[in-house]
């Protein structure tokens, strides 16, 4: 699948909030707050990060690119904003908020009536310069899937010692 | 979470079939049949593997251990059985079968009324010798989460080229 296609990508973006809800809702805090060690993120942290990314990154950058092309760089994105934004909130609240934000994001995307020809339209990333709309949208999808990978890996690693000699056979623990 | 606890583990095992259904059901084949290259598994292959593991590995080994202790090794498990067993079947069928099998597995587990004291009961693995019931049950959980990690990683990697310069910032693509 070398090229971005809306018919591939949108179904994945649509499913992420429900997938995370199904995996995480009402699990004990021993899973939700688990990390891979100091300065790594828990499932709770990741959900907060995804919320902030939908709010401040994905559709805002799509709209910025369509307005400014590559003349004005995207505003920078704070990938750790959730450490303050999620404070005092429950995972259930965060999952609800993410579902609502993602539905809104995909409505805004659909309303743009973008075509395959639009995917080559240029924008400017503050760090690495000219990018295309297709690259931005592909990154949205890979970012969702990367963080689902992270959450399930963080959870698996909680049993690194508990599995005993099976550790050698479970590549996720390495 | 250094030690296995039923109250942590069972909720994860319960959620796996629905998580996979939410993530995968009705996605285009471009995702379902995607791999990481020759001799690697697609999401479709992984679901078939999880089915065979519930059918032939997890509860059968628990019951074997409770019957034989460490006197008789577990029968070997064919981790590639799905390459024949899944042939000609749809993902939707496999997801339904996995949900049914997992529900049965967890009913059988609950019916054993195991206690924390049982977790140290010994069994014998055909390759690495004496293991405990707690290690076997922990491996069941980590195996589920490892394969969820694999599925989301395989999917993310389909956009390795499509994301352009963002590739450097997406650790799942490395």
Chain segment B106-133, per-residue pLDDT in tens = 999 999 999 999 999 999 999 999 999 9
| In contact, B131 and B3? CB cutoff 8 Å | no
pLDDT value of residue B79: 86
- Cα A13 from Cα A21, distance rounded (Å): 14
Of the pLDDT bands very low, low, confident and very high (cuts 50, 70, 90), residue A119 is very high
SS3 A121: coil
What does the pLDDT look like over A22-66, one tens digit per residue? Answer: 999 999 999 999 999 999 999 999 999 999 999 999 999 999 999
pLDDT value of residue B120: 98
Q: Which residues of A touch B3 (CB under 8 A)?
A: 162
Of the pLDDT bands very low, low, confident and very high (cuts 50, 70, 90), residue B145 is very high
Q: Which residue of A has its CA nearest to B119?
A: A162
What does the pLDDT look like over A140-154, one tens digit per residue? Answer: 999 999 999 999 999
DSSP bridge partners of B131: B123
Cβ burial of A64 (10 Å; 0-12, 13-18, 19+) is middle
In chain B, which ranges are continuous DSSP H helix? 6-24, 29-32, 43-56, 58-68, 82-85, 91-111, 133-157
Which residue matches tokens 């689902």? Answer: A148
- Residue among A166, A171, A173 with most chain B CBs within 10 A, to mutate: A166
What does the pLDDT look like over B63-104, one tens digit per residue? Answer: 999 999 999 999 988 889 888 888 999 999 999 999 999 999
Beta-carbon separation of B146 and A163 below 8 A: no
- Cα B121 from Cα B14, distance rounded (Å): 24
Q: Which residues of B touch A155 (CB under 8 A)?
A: 12, 145
Q: Kindly report the nearest CA distance between residue A111 and chain B, in angstroms.
A: 22
pLDDT value of residue B1: 72
Question: What is the ipTM score, two decimals?
Answer: 0.97
Q: Kindly report the nearest CA distance between residue B139 and chain A, in angstroms.
A: 5
Q: Which residues of B touch A19 (CB under 8 A)?
A: 19, 22-23
- Cα B151 from Cα B23, distance rounded (Å): 10
Of the pLDDT bands very low, low, confident and very high (cuts 50, 70, 90), residue B3 is confident
On the CB side of A174, how many CA atoms lie within 13 Å of its CA? Answer: 6
Confidence (pTM): 0.97
| In contact, B32 and A11? CB cutoff 8 Å | no
DSSP bridge partners of B122: B132
């Amino acid at each position: 699948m070398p090229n971005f296609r809306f018919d591939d990508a949108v179904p994945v973006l649509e499913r992420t909030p429900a997938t995370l809800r199904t995996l995480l809702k009402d699990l004990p805090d021993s899973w939700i707050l688990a990390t891979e060690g100091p300065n790594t993120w828990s499932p709770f942290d990741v959900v907060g990060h995804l919320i902030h990314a939908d709010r401040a990154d994905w559709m805002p950058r799509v709209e910025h690119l369509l307005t400014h092309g590559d003349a004005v760089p995207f505003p920078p994105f704070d990938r750790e904003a959730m450490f303050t934004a999620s404070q005092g909130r429950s995972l259930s609240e965060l999952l609800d908020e993410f579902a609502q934000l993602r539905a809104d994001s995909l409505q805004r995307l659909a309303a743009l009536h973008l075509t395959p020809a639009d995917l080559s339209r240029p924008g400017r990333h503050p760090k690495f310069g000219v990018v295309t709309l297709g690259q931005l949208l592909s990154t949205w999808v890979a970012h969702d899937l990367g963080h689902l990978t992270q959450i399930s890996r963080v959870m698996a690693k909680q049993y690194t010692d508990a599995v005993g000699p099976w550790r050698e056979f479970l590549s996720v623990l390495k």
